[in-house]
């Protein structure tokens, strides 16, 4: 099955499509695991919902281009997984993480949450509102994910942006096979009902 076919089948979160009956395609490619990185929060913030563009008690909104990252958590057979905890963390629009270990001299963005989480419902879907991350030194643009499902090993992975010039030079991304790179590299398109923002579909498949 080509990557284009796989993405068409898995785009139901945005397009409102339902999965085709099993047996219509082979087992789905599991989303590859990647390093958690050094900037997972040492202490989870009080405001840890799925909207990273605003922080509780802060008047200012996050700086940067608004993104909607959406998708479903699936098993290798294509079945949706209810009750999956999806966590997301990333750098702000200037490329700095909300973490004491990030020595980047760029100022923090008080309106950016930096970390969010949600639990999938019966449709296996998740959605985050965030911003396009800035470039962290030595890396291409990326967003970190952790997915926890009861009875399964946690998956830690990273999502990348198609068309980024630094993708070909990113050591972590290049370690993946061509299929693995395609599974975690996402195309973002303008959001129809929200001018100035973009939406990307990142379906996460647990092996």
pLDDT in tens, 111-121: 999 999 999 99
HEC per residue, 9-60: HCCHHHHCCCCCCCCCCCCCCCCCCCCCCCCCCCCCCCCCCCECCCCCCCCC
What range does the domain containing 103 cover? 3-206
User: What value, to the nearest 5°, has the Cα angle with vertex 153 and ends 149 and 158?
Assistant: 85
pLDDT in tens, 84-142: 999 999 999 999 999 999 998 988 999 999 999 999 999 999 999 999 999 999 999 99
Of 54, 35, 124, residue with least CA distance to 86: 124
For residue 174, what is the domain's CATH number? 2.60.130.10
Regarding predicted confidence, which is higher, 106 or 173? 173
Please say whether the beta carbons of 20 and 12 come within 8 A: no
pLDDT in tens, 8-51: 333 443 434 344 444 445 689 999 999 999 999 998 888 999 99
How far is Cα 12 from Cα 15, in angstroms, rounded to an integer? Answer: 5
Residues 6+ apart with CB under 8 A from 37: 144, 158
Mean pLDDT of 181-191: 98
Q: Is 198 helix (H, G, I), strand (E, B) or coil?
A: strand
The pLDDT value recorded for residue 26 is: 67
Q: Is the pLDDT of residue 3 over 80?
A: no
Q: Supply the mean pLDDT for the chain.
A: 89
Please say whether the beta carbons of 88 and 144 come within 8 A: yes
Q: How many domains does the chain have?
A: 1
């Amino acid at each position: 099955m080509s990557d284009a076919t796989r993405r068409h089948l898995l785009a139901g979160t945005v397009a409102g499509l339902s999965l085709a009956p099993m047996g219509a395609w082979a087992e789905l490619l599991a989303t590859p695991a990647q390093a958690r990185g050094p900037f997972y929060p040492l202490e989870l913030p009080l405001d840890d919902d799925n909207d990273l563009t605003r922080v509780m008690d802060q008047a200012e909104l996050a700086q940067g281009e608004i993104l909607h990252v959406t998708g479903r958590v699936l098993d290798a057979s294509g079945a949706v997984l209810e009750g999956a905890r999806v966590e997301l963390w990333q750098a702000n629009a200037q490329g700095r993480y909300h973490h004491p270990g990030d020595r980047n001299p760029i100022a923090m963005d008080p309106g950016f949450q930096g970390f969010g989480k949600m639990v999938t419902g019966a449709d296996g879907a998740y959605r985050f509102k965030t911003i396009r991350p800035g470039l962290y030194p030595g890396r291409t643009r990326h967003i970190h994910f952790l997915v926890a499902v009861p009875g399964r090993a946690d998956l830690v992975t990273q999502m990348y942006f198609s068309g980024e010039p630094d993708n070909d030079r990113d050591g972590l991304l290049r370690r993946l096979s061509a299929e693995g790179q395609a599974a975690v590299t996402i195309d973002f398109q303008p959001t129809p009902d929200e001018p100035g923002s973009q939406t990307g579909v990142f379906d996460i498949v647990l092996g």
